[in-house]
Structures are given as structure tokens and as C-alpha cells.
Structure 1
Amino acid sequence: MLCVNVGGLAVTHVTLAPVYLTIGFPVVALVLCIMRIVWWWRLRPETLTEEEADDLLMRTTIVAGSFSIVVMAWAMTLHQYGGFYEQGHVAIFVAVTMTACIFCLTHLPVAAFLIAGIVLSVFLAVFMASGNRVFLAITVNTAFVTAMMVRNLVNNYRSFAELVASKAEASRLSDENARLAQTDSLTGLPSRRYFLSCLEETARICEAEQKRFALAVFDLDQFKPINDTYGHTVGDRVLAETGRRLAAFAGPDVTVARLGGDEFGVILHEPGAAHEAIAFCDRICTALQEPIRLNDIRVVTGCSCGLAKFPRAGHEAAALFDRADYALYHSKLHRRGATTLFSREHEDAIRAERAVETALRTADLSAEMELHYQPILDTATGAITFVEALARWTSPILGRVGPDRFVAAAERCGLVHGLTLLLLSKALADFRQFPAWVGLSFNLSAHDLVSPEAVQEIIATVRESGIDPRRLTLELTETALMRDFDQAKAGITSLRALGIKIALDDFGTGYSSLGYVHRLPLDKIKIDRSFMAGIDTEIGGSLISTIVSLCRNLGLDGIVEGVETAAQREAAQRQGCRYIQGYLIGRPMPLRDLLARLAQEPPPMRAADLEPLRLTA
């Protein structure tokens, strides 16, 4: 704008004023303005710091003032040449140029005020001194317009400043909301959302740059009993202290976060060798296993870790997380309190599990599934009074698949409810052929007990079978109770209301069995087979005797599993065990073999000891 106006004024005086004024000055002004334009064009404001931006704005104000002085001096010099029209053009040039400069510098009012002050003071002094009424009127009009421009400039700048402030506040609130969304409020650690985003970004960068990193997932081993025993307030304080300890390991090369519940994640951006990464994770486990003192309460949480290294365990964030989680599961199952590195063996196990899942989805379960039965002996009568139904699957693709594998696969696939009903129907159909004094024991999945719909379907299946529910015992493990204790208790209550007996399986292997025995309406306790290994020792015998006494005092039937030798049977009887189960009594067998054996077994010698049982229509 300045170049155009200077050029226009110079043209009207080119034949009246000296060449240095009409050509020389405009050329110099043009060159300087072009240099200024190029400099601004190449500037990248988004790269500047606040101090650099402030310095540049100050320099702009100085340049604007300098230009206004020089251009005003040039215009006033040209005013001496020419007649009335040329002098009028000078007045118009000054007025228009000053107004345009003020408008263009709305967001830099210091420079605009400086230009207005310089130009208007010179303009008023020169044209009012001329005594010409036309020039005097132009001067007054220009001063009035300038005053209005300045007033509008102040208002516009105030609005502009408020807009900038509101955007800054909105940006601050947005950043704060983003920070809160990416921060766990309880522990102060980054949240799961932030962690997964960081994991994906790290995987992308390391894939492009051929770098390595590691993902570790930590889980507290003893957190649920703390919640159950002391309440959620203490549990929250334990998590907060765990987060504080974990935060001490964070740094430029280590990202930590809470993934949810009592699970935490760590990204090792520079993991080093495998043994170094494992040692680092073991140090975290050790730190998290240290006792926590909360006023008068002293709690101890275990901690296990699953570790997966990029790219060996996977190239994508989701795959890497799944493998770290699998390694964590392996740690909690086999190496509780330590770190497990995902390995080739784990990859093979995952593929095998997927093969089982695939075969299970396409299987004709009704034809491929069968039941074997293992007898339970009543030592007081010498008769088999119960049998436990155990599922067996022979796949035409995979061959014989163990129950631990296909039940877990059915739970992952969402097929377990259908599988439970199918096997229960088969077991109840076989049960019709049992002698009247023999009861049936059947295992429930953890997913069945916490599903109200599944519980109702089980009740309907039992009713439709026509079997007396009092002859049926449903076994459940602590896993079922840990998933949702309140729902599990409601399911047990519904089943017992029908007359079905409830047994707690694998008693003694979990951390809270006593709590469940106290809080649940149970009928039987099955003592885990691991106790039989040391039953002939003083401590082992005392443990069995204590559990049997507990059952007797609570009015529960105690069944000891894993009896494999005559010596173990004698030791169990000495400790007061009435019901025993194991290979010594009988291995799991097909229905025909069981019926053949039961046909050879005498009925109970003391029928009065047994509850009268009958078939219902």
C-alpha cells in the first residue's frame, strides 16, 4: 500500500520536482518495502518463542515510526512544488496513507498510535500554517477522521485482546481436560487411554526407525482380599501408594500408567538385553511387594509381571499388549511374584489355544463330547455314594483335548454356557441309570454361576430331567466367586432353593477360601489334592485334621481328593476323613464301566446314615 501511494504521488510531480524526489526516493522506498515483504514472507511465527515475538513486534513499531518520519518529510518536500492540484494531492496522500496505515496496524496499536502522532502533528503544523482555507478544512477533517480511527482502533484492539484471552483460556481448559482425560485421578499416573496411545506411537516410530522397546504389564496378586477385608477406601489408598512407588521408576526412557483396577503398564523405550529388562521389572515387583502401612493397618500385596519385547513378540501395539498380558497370566499361574518374558513357547501355546477355539466353534459337541465318572467313597459305609462327572472331548481334527484346555477356550469364545447345559443334560441322562444311593457331582464354570440367565437354564434343565435335585451336587471354584461375589451368592441361593447341593472345589489353594466358607451357603468342601502329598507328615496331617474339624463344626461334608495309595487312605481315615476320591478309589471311567463297577458294589452298610433319596416324576 505504501509503495503504491508513494508511486502515485511521485508520478504527479515527476515534471515539477527534482529526479531524486520523484524517482530516486520512490525506488529506494520500493526496494526497502520489498525487502521487508520478503522477510515477513519467510518468517514462520509458529516457531517463535514469546520473547522472540515480542522483540519482533517492538522492531516493527520502530520501523513503522521511522518510515512515517521519512515518508512524511518526503511528502512535505514535494508539497513545495507544483500548483494547487499537486499540493491537494499531497494532502490526500498524507490523509489516505495515514488512515490505511492505522487500519493495517489494528493489532499493533503502539505502532498505529506512533504513526498517527507523527503524521498528524506534521500535517497540522504545515497545512494550518499555510493559511489556505481548503487546506485548513482538509486538516480539520483529517484530524477528526484520525480521532475516530484511533477510537475504533482502541475498541477493536480491546475486542481482539479479549478474543485472544478467551482462546487462551479455552486452550488452557482444553489442555486441562485432555490432561485429566489422560491422567488417572486416583494414582496421578497417566491413564490407560494415554498409555495405549503412547504404545501405538512408540510402535510406529520403532518400526520406522528399526529400534526396539519393551512392554511390561504388572498386576497386584493380593489386592482383592485387601478390598474384601478392609473395604474400598483402604484399597484405593493401596493403589495410590502403588502408583507413587511406580512413578519413582518413570523417566525419559520409561513410561508408566495405570491400566485399570490393580493393573499397571510400563513402556521401556531403551530396554537393553532381555536379562536387563527382566531385572528392571523384577525391581519394580520387589518395590510393589514392600509392606504398606496405613495407620494401624499393615498390608502386603504381591506383584507379578508379564514382559513382551518389540518386535520379537509383535509388530503392532495390540499384539504386543496381548502377548505381555499372556506372559502376565503365565506369571500369576506359574511364577507368582516374578517377571515372565514372552517367549517362543508362549507363542506356540497361543497358537494351540487358537486351534482349540477354532475346532470348538465348528465341532459337533453333542457327538464329540462324552462324560467319564470318578467314584467317591464313603469310608464309613464302604460304598461309593457319589460320582463326579468329568467331560472328555475327542476332536476329529485335534484328537483328545484336555478339559482344562477346552473349558478355558469355551470361556474365551463365549460357548461355555451352551457347553455346560449340553454336558449337564448328558450327565443327568446317564444319572437315571445310577443306583438310588449314588449321587452325582457336576462342575460349573466360573461364567455360569455369575450369569442369572445361565443359572435359570441350569435349574430348568434339572427340573426337566426328573431327577431329585437333592442327589445332585454342583461344584464351583473360587474363580467363580472372585468374578462377582454378590451375583455368585445369588446364583448359589437359587440353586440350593431347588434342593441342589453346593460344593467348594479345590479348597485350600486360594487365598480367601475361609472367607467364602463363612459367607456362603455351602454343603460340601473338597480338600485339594495337594494336601495329600504331605498327609503322612506331622504338619500335613495336622492341616488335614484341622480342615476336617472345620467341616464338622460347620456341618459340611469334607471330601479329600488325590488319594492314590493305601497309606494315604489310612492316613486320611486316621485324620477323620469320611469321603475320599482319587486313583486308589477309581480313575475316571466311561458310563458302562462305572455301571459295571456299581453293580458289583454292595449297597451302603449303614443306610440310616444316608439321607433318604427318591426319584421325582
Structure 2
Amino acid sequence: MFLPGLRRLIGLYAVRENDPVLATAQFQALARQILMLYAFLGLNAVGLAYAHYGLAPDWVVIGPPFVLVLAVGGRSLSWIRAARRPLQGRQAFAQLRMVNRFTVILGLSASLWASLLYGRGDSASDMHVIFFLTITMMFCMQCLAHLRSAAHILTTIAVPYCLYFIAFGEPMVQMAVVSYVLVLIGSTAMQSFAYRDFCHLVDLTAENGRLALTDMLTGLPNRRAFTARLEEAVAQAAATGGRFGVGMIDLDGFKPVNDSLGHGAGDAVLREVARRLEAAGLGWVARLGGDEFGLIVEGEADLEAIGGQVCALLRQPYLLREGSAQIGASVGFARFPEAAAGAETLVDRADFALYHAKTCRRGSAVCFAPAHEAALRRDAAIEQALRRADLAREFHLLYQPIVDAVSGRVEAYEALARWQSPTLGAVSPADFIPVAERSGLIRDLTRAMLGQALDTMRRWPADRRLSFNLSAHDIAAPESVDGLTAIVVASGIDPGRIVFEVTESGLMRDLGDANRALASLKALGVKIALDDFGTGYFSLSYLQRLPVDRLKIDRSFVTRLTEDATSLAIVRSILDLCRHLDLDCVVEGIETADQMLLLRSVGCRMMQGYLFHRPMPADAIPAFEAAAAEPTRWPGPCSEAA
């Protein structure tokens, strides 16, 4: 019973080292107030010494305040230096313990000095001494309110002197000290309440800070925390010559989970992804937003091997309340300092490696390499040239026919953009279209090319359609769709002669927005084609939900058609699907007569490829039309690039 009580009593005068956040806050609060405390104490001591000069020996009047001013001056310089680099953790605890020790020394010294001066003069001088002790103590306690142990030390030092003056002082002194004791009791109680509120505020601030750095869905650190941690890692590695890796993780096939099972299932998948990544212990993990996660891997670890582990880990099935889900992941890594020496550039390099993984090696990990550096420089040059480009003068369209292989009739022409840059020369669409999409320039390019294609279309026979490719960015916002609608309406062309092609990957970015955009275009009267069908994560059930009129089977199935029975079976299945859903079907990439005849034998009519003609300029279309109209002639393989 006695020992626990004694420990609690001692605890009132000690700095507890169980809360570093509170210690840091206490240090910061004292740093703003303790210089005022020292200044007040020094000035009051000088004033008391001046009032008693000649009433007491010089060593009593001059010596103690001189030492006190030197002491508080030295401590003031120490605090000024400490305030320039705010202390945390152990350093903050050490500084607070020093405040406690210095409070004991100052409190006892000031009280002892005041007692030596008491009784040396008249009653006014004695009241001045009492005033010095009480007012100085009260002000110091107020300044030390955020460090309760120091305030308790001053209170304890004041008690014996108060009892002494009450017992042996003159009546006026006794009344003054009694008043001081009452004020001291009230002040101590108020300080106790204020200190409790201060601790609560510190806890609340710390919690808010933690929440500001935490992703609410998964409990992982968020993008803000990731950026701060990455900057710390860069600074530490730069100082020590260390190395580390930064990884960007993007989930493959996550959108279909949201769309088919609901957002609750999608959230459950994200929480499970976070749990798996944390449990694997491969590095410091954060959720950056959406279905993207960040990873910081310390040291010389094999990044590709870690990336392979991440991909394998996230490929495992997800058992949800709504059903089972299957997704994948692609990872891009950049290593410090080889890839970059700054945090922002490291993230850019890792993002580029991720883009390369999703484009070329989906479901795997890619480390940023010198070849990627060259590609980045190339893309940067393309972007700058795109921003300066005169779209109407530098860009032109080629047209590739889509043919009914049974009747030989030309059904439509697909418009294909080409760019002849004055600085870069001929730039492939495979190079400039991804750059235009990433830089946000694709919408301007689409509008310019659509206007050009519609002008060309005026010279075609009335039953020829235009097949025109749209990027995912072209249907990502209502204003983009409104712009396309305005161009079609202004052209005066029958919207029913226009087919807008969109890719599976473009639709899967946000199926809900894509559905609304396509429905708006469909209401205009245009047709919608799903391009590159069969190469992505597209679920067949979505075909019932999207306003699609035709499917374009990807050329990858055609190249293996004559020697791979599986490819032919897939094509036949898609053709059957189109017949049952009342959809048109076009097969791309036909290059040989054998491919054409084989496809025709399984019921395919609409075809597109080099067998019929390569993409041609607009002025070559009349000659092609004339040749195609001859009943005894099939357009043969075209060896020249028209």
C-alpha cells in the first residue's frame, strides 16, 4: 500500500517516457514560453536586488542575482539553439528532464536568496520579498504548465515557505501569504485541467495526423505518407551511399470485380490485397489510390524476384461473400540511384516501368532499364512535338477497306491516323497515340481527325460507312462526348453511316462511364464497334449491358488460323455469339486467300486486311472502288503501300 503510493507521488515529479508524441509537443510548447520565463525571472531578481541595495551585505544583494542572470542567460541560448531544430523522442525527453532539474535549482536558489533578504529592511521591503516569491512563482508555474512535473516542483518548493510565513510572519504578511496559498490552490487545479486538455489535444492532433497519412479503406499508409517515406529514404540513402527500390503495383482485371460483384466486393478485394502485401513482408507498402499500391524495398534486394512474388500472391483467388474473384497485378520498379536520384523522378521511372509491364508483359514485373530511359526521352520528344504540331497540316488519314468477302462489296473504310512531323519525321501511331493519351492531347487530335474523315466521306458512295477509332479518353467525360456529337451534327453526314470503334481495355477503365458515353453516342444514331475483341478481360455478360453493334475479332487469332485449330474454334465461337446477339462481326488482319476462304467457310463475311488492300490515301479510294466493282475480280494482295 505504501510503496504504490510512494511511486505515484514520485511520478508527479518525473518526466514519463511512455509517450514520445506528448514529449515532443511539451518541448515545442515550452520553447515558445521558457524564454519569457527566464526574462521575467531575471528582471524581477535585478529589481529586488536594486531595492535592497544598502540594506543587506553586497554579497547577498549582488552575488545571487548575478549568478542567476548568468544561469538563465546560458539556458536561454541553449533553448534558442534547440528550437531551431525541434527535438523528438529521446532528445525531447532529455531536454524535459533538464527543465525539471533546472527548476529545482532555480526554485530553491530564488527562495533561499529571498529568505536571506527578508527582515533586512522595513515592512515595505519585506512585502517586496513576499511579492517577489509569490508573483515570480505564479508566473513560472504558468509558463511551465505544459510540463506538469516542473509545475509540481515549484508548488512543492513554495509550500514550506508559505507555512513559515503564516506561522511566524506579521499579520499583514500572514494575510498576504494566505491569499497567495488560496490562489496557488486554485491555480494548481486550473493547471491540472489545462494540462489534461493539452494532453487530449495532443492525442487528437496525433490521431488526426495519423488519419491524414492513412488510407481509410485498407489501413495502409496513403500516398501522402508514401511520398514522405520515399523522400526520407532518398535522403538517407544519399547520405549513406545506400540503395533501395520503388515499386508501383497496379491490379489487372479489378474493374470487372467492381462491375460484376459490386463496389462492396471491390473494397473487400482491396483490403485483402493490402493484407497479403503486408503479411508477405516484401517491403514498406502503401495504397496510392484506386487499385494502385506503392512498395519501398530497402537494400540490394532482387526487385524482379520480389515483383514475381507480388504478382503470384495477388493472382490467388479471392473468396468473397458475393462470390469468388480472380485478378492479377503488374509491377513496375525503379532503383535508387541507378534509375534516378530524386523521389519524384523515381516514381516517374517506376510508373513508366509499370506502363511497360501492362502494355507488353501484363501480369508480371518490369524494372526500369536504360532502354526505358531511351523510350522516355523519345516519348518526351514526341509529346513536345505534339504540343507544337499543326494538327491540320501535319496529320493525315489513310483508309483501309472493310469488305464483304462473299459479295465482294466494300462495306466501310476504317480511318487510320498518320503523322509526318517536321522535326521527328514519320511517327508511328503505336508511338504517338499512347503519348497523346497520357498527355491529354488525344481529344484535340480525335476532333481534328474526325472532322477530316467526315469531309472525305462526302465523296464516297452513299452506302459506304466510316469506321473511326475512339480513345478511352474520348469517352471519359460528358463534354468530350458532346464535342464528338457536335462535329457529327455539323458535318451533315447521316450518323447511321458512322461506326465508332472502342477497345476492350478502354471500356474496362470505367465501365459505368463508358456505358453512359456510348449510350449518348448511340442516341445520336451512330454504330458502336468493340475493337480487338478477345484480347482483354472483357466479360461476355457486358455485351448485354453495352450498346454495341459489332465486334472486331483481333488479328492475333487470324495469324495462327491455318495451323492452330484452337484459333479457328475461338473465331467460330465468336461468330456464333454474334449471330445469337444479333451483332455484326468483322475479322481483322486477313493477309492470305487461305485465311479468307477458311473464315468464309465458317460463316464469316466481313473482313479487313492486306489481302483486300493496305491503308490508302483518300484520293486512291475511287480507283479501288472501281476495281472492287468488277464482278470477276477480287482485290488481290497489295504489295505497295498506297
TM-score range, shorter chain: 0.7 to 0.9
Partner of 2:176: 145
1:197 paired to 2:228 = yes
CA contact (8 A) 1:227 1:235 kept: yes
User: Residues 68 and 541 from structure 1, CA distance in 2 versus in 1: closer, same or farther, beyond 3 angstroms?
Assistant: closer
Of 160, 163, 166, the match for 2:194: 163
Per mean C-alpha deviation after superposition, the further-off stretch among 561-570 and 287-296 is: 287-296
**Could you list the per-position Cα deviations for residues 22-75 of structure 1 after superposition, in whole angstroms to 9, with x for gaps in the alignment?**
578779967986897688668769666669957974895598569867975x67
Partner of 2:426: 400
Distance 1:48 1:147 in 2: 40
Per mean C-alpha deviation after superposition, the further-off stretch among 285-294 and 322-331 is: 285-294
Partner of 1:271: 299
Where in structure 2 are the equivalents of 1:37-436 lying within 5 Å? 53=96, 57=100, 89=122, 95-106=127-138, 107=141, 108=151, 111-112=154-155, 114-118=157-161, 120-121=163-164, 124-125=167-168, 139-249=170-280, 254-268=283-297, 270-272=298-300, 276-295=302-321, 297-436=323-462
Partner of 2:640: none
Of 566, 588, 591, the match for 2:593: 566
Matching residue's letter, 1:293: L
**Could you list the per-position Cα deviations for residues 310-344 of structure 1 after superposition, in whole angstroms to 9, with x for gaps in the alignment?**
22222322222111111101111112222111111
**Could you list the per-position Cα deviations for residues 443-466 of structure 1 after superposition, in whole angstroms to 9, with x for gaps in the alignment?**
122222234333333334334434
Distance 1:57 1:577 in 2: 90
Distance 2:385 2:405 in 1: 42
Describe the SS at the equivalent of 2:333. strand
User: Residues 368 and 96 from structure 1, CA distance in 2 versus in 1: closer, same or farther, beyond 3 angstroms?
Assistant: closer
Distance 2:624 2:102 in 1: 105
Q: Quote how far apart the aligned CAs of 1:364 are.
A: 2.5
Distance 1:29 1:466 in 2: 100
Describe the SS at the equivalent of 1:189. coil
Describe the SS at the equivalent of 1:525. strand
User: Residues 218 and 123 from structure 1, CA distance in 2 versus in 1: closer, same or farther, beyond 3 angstroms?
Assistant: closer
User: Residues 501 and 284 from structure 1, CA distance in 2 versus in 1: closer, same or farther, beyond 3 angstroms?
Assistant: closer
Q: Quote how far apart the aligned CAs of 1:389 are.
A: 1.7
Q: Quote how far apart the aligned CAs of 1:377 are.
A: 2.0
**Could you list the per-position Cα deviations for residues 346-391 of structure 1 after superposition, in whole angstroms to 9, with x for gaps in the alignment?**
1111111122222222223222222222122212212222222212
Describe the SS at the equivalent of 2:559. helix
Matching residue's letter, 2:209: A
CA contact (8 A) 1:445 1:476 kept: yes
User: What percent of counterpart residues are identical?
Assistant: 39
User: Residues 414 and 48 from structure 1, CA distance in 2 versus in 1: closer, same or farther, beyond 3 angstroms?
Assistant: closer
Distance 1:233 1:71 in 2: 72
Of 575, 578, 581, the match for 2:605: 578
User: Residues 120 and 39 from structure 1, CA distance in 2 versus in 1: closer, same or farther, beyond 3 angstroms?
Assistant: farther
Describe the SS at the equivalent of 1:476. strand
CA contact (8 A) 2:162 2:177 kept: no
Q: Which has the larger radius of gyration?
A: 1
CA contact (8 A) 1:255 1:267 kept: yes
Matching residue's letter, 2:556: S
Describe the SS at the equivalent of 1:298. strand
Matching residue's letter, 1:301: I
CA contact (8 A) 2:255 2:509 kept: no
User: Residues 433 and 99 from structure 1, CA distance in 2 versus in 1: closer, same or farther, beyond 3 angstroms?
Assistant: closer
User: Residues 448 and 48 from structure 1, CA distance in 2 versus in 1: closer, same or farther, beyond 3 angstroms?
Assistant: closer
Distance 2:461 2:206 in 1: 73
CA contact (8 A) 2:286 2:295 kept: yes
Per mean C-alpha deviation after superposition, the further-off stretch among 413-422 and 369-378 is: 413-422
Distance 2:117 2:329 in 1: 84
Q: Quote how far apart the aligned CAs of 1:502 are.
A: 1.5
Gaps in structure 2 of 5+ consecutive residues: 1-43, 142-150, 633-642
Distance 2:338 2:91 in 1: 42
Distance 2:544 2:281 in 1: 43
Distance 1:350 1:524 in 2: 36
Distance 1:442 1:59 in 2: 81
Q: Quote how far apart the aligned CAs of 1:521 are.
A: 1.9
Q: Quote how far apart the aligned CAs of 1:497 are.
A: 3.2
The TM-score with structure 2 as length reference comes to 0.79
User: Residues 317 and 48 from structure 1, CA distance in 2 versus in 1: closer, same or farther, beyond 3 angstroms?
Assistant: closer
User: Residues 66 and 414 from structure 1, CA distance in 2 versus in 1: closer, same or farther, beyond 3 angstroms?
Assistant: closer
The TM-score with structure 1 as length reference comes to 0.82
Distance 2:538 2:247 in 1: 28
Q: Quote how far apart the aligned CAs of 1:548 are.
A: 0.3
User: Residues 112 and 295 from structure 1, CA distance in 2 versus in 1: closer, same or farther, beyond 3 angstroms?
Assistant: closer
Describe the SS at the equivalent of 1:400. strand
Gaps in structure 1 of 5+ consecutive residues: 14-21, 80-85, 128-138, 606-617
Matching residue's letter, 2:267: D
1:452 paired to 2:478 = yes
CA contact (8 A) 1:99 1:146 kept: no
Describe the SS at the equivalent of 2:248. strand
CA contact (8 A) 1:109 1:153 kept: no
1:516 paired to 2:524 = no
CA contact (8 A) 1:223 1:301 kept: yes
User: Residues 526 and 562 from structure 1, CA distance in 2 versus in 1: closer, same or farther, beyond 3 angstroms?
Assistant: same
Distance 2:547 2:74 in 1: 84
1:547 paired to 2:574 = yes
Where in structure 2 are the equivalents of 1:432-443 lying within 5 Å? 432-443=458-469
Q: Quote how far apart the aligned CAs of 1:101 are.
A: 2.1
Give the aligned CA root-mean-square deviation in angstroms. 3.4
Of 565, 583, 604, the match for 1:538: 565
Q: Quote how far apart the aligned CAs of 1:475 are.
A: 1.3
Matching residue's letter, 1:196: T
Distance 2:392 2:78 in 1: 76
**Could you list the per-position Cα deviations for residues 130-153 of structure 1 after superposition, in whole angstroms to 9, with x for gaps in the alignment?**
xxxxxxxxx111000000011112
User: Residues 53 and 440 from structure 1, CA distance in 2 versus in 1: closer, same or farther, beyond 3 angstroms?
Assistant: closer
Distance 1:418 1:593 in 2: 27
Partner of 1:614: none
> Paired residues, what number?
569
CA contact (8 A) 1:331 1:339 kept: yes
Distance 2:435 2:403 in 1: 32
CA contact (8 A) 1:271 1:277 kept: no
Q: Quote how far apart the aligned CAs of 1:588 are.
A: 1.3
Distance 2:124 2:332 in 1: 81
Per mean C-alpha deviation after superposition, the further-off stretch among 50-59 and 158-167 is: 50-59
Distance 1:577 1:558 in 2: 8
Matching residue's letter, 2:160: G
Q: Quote how far apart the aligned CAs of 1:179 are.
A: 0.9
Per mean C-alpha deviation after superposition, the further-off stretch among 488-497 and 26-35 is: 26-35
CA contact (8 A) 2:242 2:299 kept: no
Q: Quote how far apart the aligned CAs of 1:564 are.
A: 1.5
Of 513, 531, 553, the match for 1:505: 531
User: Residues 491 and 55 from structure 1, CA distance in 2 versus in 1: closer, same or farther, beyond 3 angstroms?
Assistant: closer
CA contact (8 A) 1:392 1:401 kept: yes
Q: Quote how far apart the aligned CAs of 1:549 are.
A: 0.5
